[in-house]
Structure 1
Amino acid sequence: MLKQFSLVFFVLIACYVGVNVRESKHITKEFEVNAPASEVWELCRSLGLKNLVARKLKNVVQSVQVLKGDGGVGTVVKTTLVPGISSYTEKFTVIDDQKRVKVAQGLEGDCLAFGCSVLNLRLEIIEKSQNSSIIKYTVSYTVKKEFQAKDPKPTIQKLEAMIQLSKEYLERNN
């Protein structure tokens, strides 16, 4: 009896996870950077990129506030965009120094405010050669059923501006 229950439970969980995976959408982009992967990772792994963006992209970002944490896993950051009416809050959920992977979960703002139920950003730094690397980002999001006809998407233009800024900064200082 217990084996049958376990099998039924496993099948139900697999169906639930399968449905959620199918509903998730992904946007992936890569930026080549003429800088060592270790330097790119050092900028991106904690609050370095956020601080750089706050200083250099004043036409895009009004402020960056650390609401909780020190840049490690569990850190919550609120980014307020110009003109100051739009903001995005995220929580760092994974920082893997071995794989050079950082994952942030959106908590509020962006497409979560107009139809998405899940928003995650995965940033990966890939070593291409000794002095060259790739910044790869993947934005994963799930649209609520009642908003699927409107097909809301995360705003990636500002993310791309931030990554482009980091690319220019790293190449200039390399």
Structure 2
Amino acid sequence: MLGQLSSELKISAEASQVWEIISTLKLAKLVVEEIPDVVTKFDVVEGDGGVGTVLKLYLSPDGPGFSSYSEKFTKVDHEKLVKETEVVEGGVLDIGFTKYLIRFEVIDKGEGSCIWKSTIEYEMKEEFAANASLVSIKPLESIMETVEKWLTNHKA
């Protein structure tokens, strides 16, 4: 079974400013600092924020029912402003998902604004199809809104 969810947010900031945060480890640090009800902490298992980086993310006890998972940065395209991460251990993989990919795209709109598009793509075993209802774009929307607020509050 395949599925996909996506959401877009217009941000009043340069695409390069948004990309500077989401293409690096700054995003994980900002999420932990600003919205600990999503991710309480993270560890860098491997890498420096580029392709191949593996993070272990620890989730809020009020979260989706699992306490942690590991994700790997599989694409960080500085020209197209696209970053992809895949869950490689734990989390949704423990409840029947065989693939869970998150893609962030930044689309420059000029004049100090951009669109941040977040997409979740997943595959799962048919016998676990009921768990597809657990997939939610809401945490990514919270992250996008948090980055937007942070950029607004930290303009030079």
TM over 0.5: yes
Extract unaligned runs of 5+ from structure 1: 1-22
Structure index of larger Rg: 1
Name the aligned partner's letter for residue 122 of structure 2.
Y
1:166 aligned to 2:147? yes
Pick one of 31, 34, 42 that aligns with 1:53.
Answer: 31
1:74 aligned to 2:52? yes
1:135 aligned to 2:116? yes
1:7-156 matches, within 5 Å, as 23-83=1-61, 86-156=67-137
Query: In structure 2, how many angstroms separate the alpha carbons of the residues matched to 1:120 and 1:129?
Result: 28
Superposition deviation, residue 149 in structure 1:
4.6
Q: Work out whether residues 7 and 137 of structure 2, in 8 Å CA contact, stay in contact via their aligned partners in 1.
A: no
Q: Secondary structure, in 3 states, of the residue corresponding to 2:132? A: coil
Query: In structure 2, how many angstroms separate the alpha carbons of the residues matched to 1:109 and 1:160?
Result: 22
Superposition deviation, residue 152 in structure 1:
4.3
Q: Work out whether residues 67 and 78 of structure 1, in 8 Å CA contact, stay in contact via their aligned partners in 2.
A: yes
Extract unaligned runs of 5+ from structure 2: none
- Using structure 1 for the length normalisation, give the TM-score: 0.80
CA deviations on 1:87-131 (whole Å, 9 max, x unpaired) are: 121100100000000011111344322121110011100011230
> Which is worse superposed, 46-55 or 79-88?
79-88
Q: Work out whether residues 95 and 131 of structure 2, in 8 Å CA contact, stay in contact via their aligned partners in 1.
A: no
Query: In structure 2, how many angstroms separate the alpha carbons of the residues matched to 1:109 and 1:76?
Result: 13
Superposition deviation, residue 78 in structure 1:
1.2
Superposition deviation, residue 150 in structure 1:
4.8
- Using structure 2 for the length normalisation, give the TM-score: 0.89
Give the count of matched residue pairs.
152
Query: In structure 2, how many angstroms separate the alpha carbons of the residues matched to 1:150 and 1:41?
Result: 32
In structure 2, the CA distance between the partners of 1:123 and 1:150, relative to structure 1 (3 Å rule), is closer
Name the aligned partner's letter for residue 137 of structure 1.
S
Q: Secondary structure, in 3 states, of the residue corresponding to 1:151? A: helix
Give the number of the structure with larger relative contact order, counting CA–CA contacts within 8 Å between residues 6 or more apart: 2
Superposition deviation, residue 58 in structure 1:
2.5
